[in-house]
Amino acid sequence: MNTVIEVAGLSKRFGGFTAIDDVSIAIEENSITGLLGRNGAGKTTMMQLLTGQEFRSSGSIRVFGEDPVENSGVLARTCFVKESQKYPDDYKPVHVFRSAPWFFPNWDAGFAERLVADFRLPLTRRIKKLSRGQLSAIGVIVGLASRAPLTFFDEPYLGLDAVARQTFYDRLLEDYAEHPRTVVLSTHLIDEVSDLLEHVVVIDEGRIVIDGSAEELRDSASTVAGARTAVDAFVAGRRVLHREELGGLASVTVGRLDAADRKAASAAGLELAGVSLQQLVIRTTTTDTSEGRRSA
């Protein structure tokens, strides 16, 4: 498997504020990676650094083996869909779809047409007059139809209703299956995309807190619930991620449990449940330490 993106010791400071702090990650070719984290964690900055739109403070970035800054060879194979993309005054969607093919060598006009119909985008209405969802749809369509070997989607779903979001995920999956490419997707709506992701990277305050395969992550935590004493006995000595109590009951999220552990838990009359990716991300990025313990 080829590595498309290699980042080592990357840092970005804006004056006194460190937005990206010593980040090192690698992203494989033809995979879907989720870039997750709270608002202001550094997801957008990360993508801007990877596409040469921002200049790094230190460290190295290699995209397709080269530094992406001012590198037209690399950028021609990249598409970055920003949720805050600005368009010239008086531009209409038709202008965007007319000009995009000039910059994306793999552009599929037929696909773009079908997507315009799917998202019901009014092609000849001024972009200034479009709803937030329609504006996002433009970005989504460009990102999908570009067939760029490396495509970034930065929170592309803003303003899209649930139906439109599902359309986006479906079209992305379909197209990705037929025409594999490397996709990096940042989002807050983790549960909606957790089944799509192969690789999960979680950023918190500029640092990587999780970097692994979605499968590994699923495996990495479980929730044990039942009578408090029994639960406490079982989780003693284990890494506790989260604890909730209600009367005599407790529900504790712990680290990885192997088959033997699971048997022991069942034998003790405890209920086991998985931990959703969203829950896992929340637990590892909550900075308020008092969240660790909550009683009702």
Beta carbon nearer to another protein, 102 or 295: 102
- Is 31 an interacting residue with respect to another protein (CB under 8 A)? yes
Least distance from C-beta 20 to another protein, angstroms?
A: 14
Residue 9: left if φ>0, alpha if ψ -120 to 50, beta else—which one? left
Interacting positions 257-276 with another protein (CB under 8 A): 266, 269, 272-276
Least distance from C-beta 22 to another protein, angstroms?
A: 21
CA distances from 62 to 9, 65, 117, 178 (A): 12, 5, 37, 27
- Is 118 an interacting residue with respect to another protein (CB under 8 A)? no
13, 57, 87, 220: residue in contact with another protein (rule CB under 8 A): 87
Least distance from C-beta 134 to another protein, angstroms?
A: 17
- Is 67 an interacting residue with respect to another protein (CB under 8 A)? no
d(CA 233, CA 164): 47
Q: In sequence order, which residues have a C-beta less than 8 Å from that of residue 283 and are 6 or more positions away?
A: 221, 241, 242, 253, 275
d(CA 117, CA 97): 13
d(CA 153, CA 156): 6
The residue type at 237: G
18, 59, 83, 91: residue in contact with another protein (rule CB under 8 A): 91
Q: Which helix (H) or strand (E) holds 92?
A: none
- Residue numbers of the site for another protein (CB under 8 A)? 2, 4, 29-32, 48, 51-55, 64, 70-73, 75-80, 82, 84-92, 95, 98-100, 102-106, 147, 149, 169-170, 173-174, 176-181, 195-198, 214-215, 218-219, 222, 266, 269, 272-276
